[in-house]
């Protein structure tokens, strides 16, 4: 049984706004959320920029401890609540799934220091004192809390496929709704690595831009002067359900998911396959899964990180799959405006794709002045571009060689 | 729709590397000694017991040297189990890389306490408070860039994909039994729906790491009477029709995997012998059943879900 799957609810928390309307308005205007880090004292770090969520979000008292244990849980709760309200659903019913992507557990270095620095035994003693707070929070806590609120009987999955996590979570959810395994689902991603350990770890890997002078324009996917990505944080969640059911319930349908593909580079631990074969495999898989041919792809939302290794490889793979049509198929990267949201990246960038259908325009790259050799594509630059196409291909590629691609389709109301 | 056959099994547990070691252990031919954790000496967790791999040199010796520096303990045992399962089923000779999927789960990330202390000691100011500036200027010197590869929970299956040249569909879940079972369930769906040729499904978890044990104890997921063990288990799933056509021995047919939220008390039938293995427990239980050393087909996960397998054993172990 294959059925069409619709997106009927969206929630998002991003560095340029909380909720889809503020997000749409900001990215269409080329507003960047990348600024100097304020979450902690970054004066000693080479890297000083990030896309931080600046809004305070109110949440019930009972979640304060969880959010204090890991701030990204707050983003997840907010985005999930928005998505459910947006869909007009009080709870997930029937056979339901909650599948969220994220990347890495948050280690609160401050709490470890407070727990005691004289040795591991002191940490053990202090940690086991009744009422002591943990200094690490399991990654599934957000999913469990969201399940308690919106779907106690749902199957709850936490996907940790690095930067491909939320795209995988959405793609997998789509596949299992399509084949009838589940009736309704909430899926997406949440993440934040904007903490000393996250920024420090990425800085050591040389993956982040230390070009503070560029400020809001420091994340420069496909640009000749790109020198690394910029971390962002946030969350995006989607209510997915069979399109026919959504129509029966008279729900607003934002778009439908047409296809999903995932692949592994199986190349090297520390670098993507430079031939782009892994990316291409995921894109081809998604196009095939959608029952389309590559010529039917009308726009591409690139993974576009602004790192040397990713952009050229991805551009080559996009040209490869689009064939001659690559010169007239618009390509945009949302990371240039909000930074790299790691496990949440694909989900938040999917919201920007949906904007393409809703507002009939694609947002521009935030900082693409001179296209780097090897990165030639039909880039959307300077201003939004009018868009009346039927399909958008969304890429996400993860550290470790995990690739995921979604195909999104326009649905006439 | 395809019947889903299990044609390969790979295991790494404190009984040793390989499925034969598990069979010996679970059939009582080989004992397992749970030890108190040295790092907990003199603390209120002094009674906590755990078991790791018996011979870490033997583990390292079986892995490619160039990959070792990227590997956590979970990655090492996961890759040993995964390559054993892939070899057992002969998938590399029968399936294209892009037709080989990996659906896996990983456990809680283990931090190395000694390394963390050196890093943090360099980051504490005169008032004894953690200083982000000192961390950036001095603490980071003690942080090995390779740490990122060792703590990212997706790395064990990614490294496995490099070792066996698997390039197909993939999903990685975290961190409990529910997610370990979901990886198996996804393999069943994918093979049944022809979304992949074969699927390597399973998990590796190292709850015996001291940093992880503290976390598990703090959350009351373990107690003094329940030891924790490192374990990895992988299974190869493929269509029964293809396996029979290729003349591959079939351990069994997996008719269904059910994961139901029931707020059940966590229960692992193998825990009494081998300790709690968390994310690895479902694949380990399934393997033990198929190898004829356990009749159990269900367990309950840390988050209270009941996990049930419907299996038809077809090959004498």
User: What tokens were used for B153?
Assistant: 């929970």
Q: Which of A128, A201, A269 sits opposite B143 (nearest CB)?
A: A201
Instruction: Show me where the domains of chain A are located.
Output: 5-104+139-409
Write the secondary structure of chain B as one string of H (helix), E (strand) and C (coil): CCCEEEEEEEEEECCEECHHHHHHHHCCCCCCCCEECHHHCCCCCCCCEEECCCCHHHHHHCCCHHHHCCCCHHHHHHHHHHHHHHHHHCHHHHCCHHHEEEEEEECCCCCCHHHHHHHHHCCECCCCCECHHHHHHCHHHHCCCCHHHHHCCCHHHHHHHHHHCCCCCEEEECCCHHHHHHHHHHHHHHHHCCCCCEEEEEEEECCCCHHHHHHHHHCCCCCCCCCEECEEEEEEEEEHHHHHHCCCCCCEEEEEEEEEECCCCCECCCHHHHCECHHHHHHHHHHHHHCCCCCCCEEECCCCEEEEEEEEECCCC
Strand partners, B233: B11, B203
Q: What is the pLDDT of residues B99-137, one digit of tens each?
A: 999 999 999 987 777 778 889 999 999 998 999 999 999
Does residue B203 contact residue B233 with C-beta atoms inside 8 Å? yes
Distance in angstroms (rounded) separating the CA atoms of residues A344 and A352:
13
Tell me if A154 and B261 make a contact (CB, 8 A cut-off): yes
Q: What angle do CA B252, B257, B258 make, to 5 degrees?
A: 155
Whether B68 contacts chain A with CB within 8 A? no
Q: Does B159 touch chain A (CB under 8 A)?
A: yes
Closest CB from A160, A263, A402 relative to B106: A160
Contact B167 A132 (CB under 8 A): no
Q: State chain B's mean pLDDT as an integer.
A: 94
**Six-digit token pair at B274?**
């081998």
CA distance B36 to B51: 9
In percent, the amount of chain A with pLDDT more than 90 equals 85
Rounded Cα gap, residues B243 and B89, in angstroms: 9
d(CA A161, CA B105): 10
Q: Are B11 and B77 a contacting pair, CB within 8 Å?
A: no
Cα-Cα end-to-end distance for chain B: 27
Other beta carbons within 10 angstroms of residue A250's beta carbon come to: 7
Q: Do A402 and B117 touch (CB under 8 A)?
A: no
Q: What's the DSSP call for residue A94?
A: S
Q: Which residues of A touch B149 (CB under 8 A)?
A: 269-270
CB A196 within 8 A of CB A44: no
Q: Cα–Cα distance between A352 and A74 in angstroms, integer?
A: 21
Q: Which residues of B touch A160 (CB under 8 A)?
A: 106, 152-154, 172-174
Give contacts of A 106-125 with B, CB under 8 A.
Answer: 107, 109-110, 112-114, 117, 119-121, 123-125
> Does position B192 have pLDDT exceeding 90, yes or no?
yes
CB contact under 8 Å between B133 and A41, yes or no, is: yes
- DSSP label of A231: B
pTM of the model: 0.97
Tens digits of residue pLDDT in B212-258 = 999 999 999 999 999 999 999 999 999 999 999 999 999 999 999 99
Name the token pair of A11: 């929630």
A12 carries an active-site annotation: no
B134 close to A44: Cβ distance less than 8 angstroms: yes
Q: Is residue A353 annotated as a catalytic residue, yes or no?
A: no
Task: Find the residue in B nearest to A405 (Cα).
Answer: B169
B40–A266 C-beta distance less than 8 A: no
> A288 in helix, strand or coil?
helix
Q: Pick the residue from chain A with its C-alpha nearest to B133.
A: A44
Query: A87 to chain B, minimum CA–CA distance in Å?
Result: 24
Pick from A276, A357, A288: nearest CA to A318: A276
If phi over 0 gives left and psi between -120 and 50 gives alpha, with beta otherwise, what is residue B8?
beta
B103 in contact with A, Cβ within 8 Å: no
Q: How far is CA A319 from CA A305, A309, A329, in A?
A: 17, 16, 10
3-state secondary structure of A1: coil
pLDDT of residue B317 exceeding 60: no
What is the model's pLDDT at position B316?
54
What is the C-alpha to C-alpha distance for residues B170 and A266, in angstroms, rounded to an integer? Answer: 12
B48 in Cβ contact with B212 (< 8 Å)? no
Minimum Cα–Cα distance from B182: chain A residue: A157
Check residue A5 and give its pLDDT.
98
Structure tokens at B122: 């360099």
Q: Does B133 contact A at CB distance below 8 Å?
A: yes
Catalytic (active site) residue A340 = yes
Best B110, B146, B173 member to test A by mutation, with max A CBs in 10 Å, is B173
Full pLDDT tens readout for chain A, 413 residues: 689 999 999 999 999 999 999 999 999 999 999 999 999 999 999 999 999 999 988 788 888 888 988 999 999 999 999 999 999 999 998 899 999 999 998 888 888 888 776 778 888 888 888 888 777 789 999 999 999 999 999 999 999 999 999 999 999 999 999 999 999 999 999 999 999 999 999 999 999 999 888 889 999 999 999 999 999 999 999 999 999 999 999 999 999 999 999 999 999 998 999 999 999 999 999 999 999 999 999 999 999 999 998 999 999 999 999 999 999 999 999 999 999 999 999 999 999 999 999 999 999 999 999 999 999 999 999 999 999 999 999 999 999 999 999 999 999 87
Residue A313: Cβ-neighbour burial (10 angstroms; 0-12, 13-18, 19+): buried
Please name the residue of chain A whose CA is at the shortest distance from the CA of residue B102.
Answer: A264
Q: How far apart are CA A60 and CA B99, in angstroms?
A: 46
- A80, containing H or E segment: helix A72-87
CB-based contact A396:A345 (threshold 8 Å): yes
* Alpha helices by DSSP H, A134-190: 141-150, 165-178
Three-state secondary-structure class, residue A369: coil
Fold of the domain spanning A5-104+139-409:
Peroxisomal Thiolase; Chain A, domain 1 (3.40.47)
* Residues in B touching A158 (Cβ below 8 Å): 173-175, 179
Domains parsed from chain B with CATH numbers: 4-109+152-313 (3.40.47.10)
- First and final C-alpha spacing in chain A: 24
Using the CB atoms, write b or e for A119-130: b if 16+ within 10 Å: ebbebbbbbeee
Which one from A12, A42, A163, A375 is the annotated catalytic residue?
Answer: A163
Candidate from B152, B165, B171 with C-beta closest to A104 = B152
Query: Which of B10, B149, B6, B153 minimizes the C-alpha distance to B67?
Result: B149
* Integer angstrom CA distances of residue A383 from A364, A379, B303: 6, 11, 48
Over 80: is that where the pLDDT of B1 sits?
Answer: no
Q: What is the pLDDT of residue A245?
A: 97
- Rounded to an integer, the average pLDDT of B88-103 is 98
Helix (H) or strand (E) holding A259: strand A255-264
Task: Show Cβ contacts of residue B243 under 8 Å, excluding neighbours closer than 6 positions.
Answer: B5, B7, B250
Instruction: Encode pLDDT of A194-246 as tens digits.
Output: 999 999 999 999 999 998 888 899 999 999 999 999 999 999 999 999 999 99
- The whole-angstrom distance between residue A85's C-alpha and the CA centroid of its chain comes to 21
Pairing of strands B49-51, B228-229: parallel
Distance CA A131, CA A70 (A): 17
User: What is the C-alpha separation between A91 and A166, in angstroms, rounded?
Assistant: 21
Once rounded to an integer, what is the mean pLDDT over residues B170-188? Answer: 98
Residue B315 confidence (pLDDT)? 63
Provide CB contacts within 8 A for A68, sequence distance 6+. A133
For chain A, say whether B58 makes contact (Cβ under 8 Å).
no
B178 at interface of A, judged by CB pairs closer than 8 A = yes
The answer to whether residues A333 and A221 touch, using CB atoms and an 8 Å cutoff, is: yes
Report pLDDT for A62.
86
Q: Is A280 in a helix, a strand, or coil?
A: helix
b (16+ CB within 10 A) / e for B266-291: bebbbbebbbbbbbbbbbbbbbbbbb
Cβ contact B120–A113 (<8 Å): yes
**Whole-angstrom distance, CA of residue A81 vs CA of residue A104:** 23
């Amino acid at each position: 049984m294959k059925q069409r799957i619709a997106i009927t609810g969206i929630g998002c928390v991003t560095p340029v706004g909380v909720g889809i309307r503020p997000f749409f308005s900001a990215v269409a205007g080329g507003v960047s959320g990348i600024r100097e880090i304020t979450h902690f004292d970054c004066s000693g770090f080479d890297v000083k920029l990030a896309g931080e969520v600046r809004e305070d979000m109110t949440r019930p008292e009972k979640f304060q401890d969880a959010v204090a244990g890991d701030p990204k849980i707050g983003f997840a709760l907010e985005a999930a609540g928005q998505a459910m309200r947006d869909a007009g659903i009080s709870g997930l019913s029937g056979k339901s799934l909650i599948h969220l992507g994220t990347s890495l557990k948050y280690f609160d270095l401050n709490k470890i220091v407070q727990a005691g620095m004289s040795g591991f035994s002191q940490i053990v003693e202090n940690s086991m004192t009744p009422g002591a707070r943990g200094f690490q929070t399991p990654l599934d806590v957000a999913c469990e809390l969201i399940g308690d609120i919106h779907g106690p009987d749902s199957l709850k999955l936490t996907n940790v496929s690095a930067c491909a996590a939320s795209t995988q979570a959405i793609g997998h959810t789509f596949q299992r709704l399509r084949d009838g395994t589940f009736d309704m689902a909430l899926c997406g991603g949440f993440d934040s690595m904007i903490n000393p350990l996250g920024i420090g770890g990425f800085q050591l890997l040389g993956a982040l831009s230390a070009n503070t002078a560029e400020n809001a324009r420091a994340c420069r996917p496909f640009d000749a002067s790109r020198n690394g990505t910029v971390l962002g944080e946030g969350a995006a969640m989607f209510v997915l359900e069979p399109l026919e059911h959504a129509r029966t319930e008279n729900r607003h349908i934002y778009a439908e998911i047409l296809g999903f593909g995932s692949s592994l580079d199986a190349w090297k631990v520390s670098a993507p396959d430079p031939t782009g074969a892994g990316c291409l495999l995921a894109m081809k898989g998604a196009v095939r899964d959608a029952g389309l041919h590559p010529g039917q792809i009308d726009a591409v939302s690139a993974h576009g990180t602004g790192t040397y290794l990713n952009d050229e490889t991805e551009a080559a793979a996009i040209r490869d799959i689009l064939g001659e049509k690559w010169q007239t198929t618009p390509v945009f990267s949302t990371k240039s405006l909000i930074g790299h949201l790691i496990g949440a990246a694909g989900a938040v960038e999917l919201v920007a794709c949906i904007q393409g259908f809703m507002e009939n325009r694609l947002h521009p790259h935030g900082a693409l002045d001179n296209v780097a050799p090897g990165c030639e594509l039909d880039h959307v630059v300077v201003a939004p571009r009018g868009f009346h196409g039927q399909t958008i291909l969304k890429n996400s590629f993860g550290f470790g060689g995990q690739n995921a691609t979604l195909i999104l389709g326009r649905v006439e109301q | 729709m395809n019947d889903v056959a299990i044609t390969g099994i790979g295991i790494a547990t404190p009984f040793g590397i390989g499925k034969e070691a598990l069979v010996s252990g679970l059939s009582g031919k080989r004992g397992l000694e749970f030890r108190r954790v040295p790092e907990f000496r003199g603390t209120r967790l002094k009674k906590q017991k755990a078991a790791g791999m018996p011979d870490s040199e033997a583990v390292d010796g079986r892995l490619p040297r160039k990959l070792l520096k990227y590997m956590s303990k979970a990655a090492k045992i996961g890759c040993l189990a995964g390559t054993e399962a892939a070899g057992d089923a002969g998938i590399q000779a029968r399936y294209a890389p892009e037709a080989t999927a990996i659906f896996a789960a990983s456990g809680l990330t283990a931090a190395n306490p000694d390394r963390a202390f050196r890093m943090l000691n360099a980051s504490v100011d005169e008032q004894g408070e953690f200083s982000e500036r000192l961390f950036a200027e001095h603490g980071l010197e003690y942080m090995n860039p390779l740490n990122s590869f060792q703590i990212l929970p997706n790395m064990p299956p990614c490294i496995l994909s490099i070792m066996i040249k698997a390039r197909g569909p993939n999903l990685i879940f975290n961190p409990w039994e529910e997610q370990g079972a979901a990886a198996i369930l996804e393999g069943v769906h994918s093979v049944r729906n022809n979304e992949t040729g074969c699927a390597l499904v399973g998990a590796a978890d190292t709850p015996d790491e001291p940093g992880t044990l503290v976390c598990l104890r703090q959350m009351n997921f373990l107690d003094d009477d329940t030891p924790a063990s490192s374990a990895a288990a992988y299974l190869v799933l493929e269509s029964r029709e293809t396996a029979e056509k290729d003349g591959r021995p079939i351990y069994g047919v997996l008719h269904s995997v059910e994961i139901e939220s029931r707020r059940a008390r966590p229960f692992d039938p193998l825990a009494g012998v081998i300790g709690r293995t968390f994310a690895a427990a479902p694949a380990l239980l399934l393997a033990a059943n198929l190898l004829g050393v356990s009749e159990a087909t269900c367990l309950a996960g840390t988050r209270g879900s009941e996990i049930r397998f419907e299996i038809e054993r077809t090959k004498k172990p």
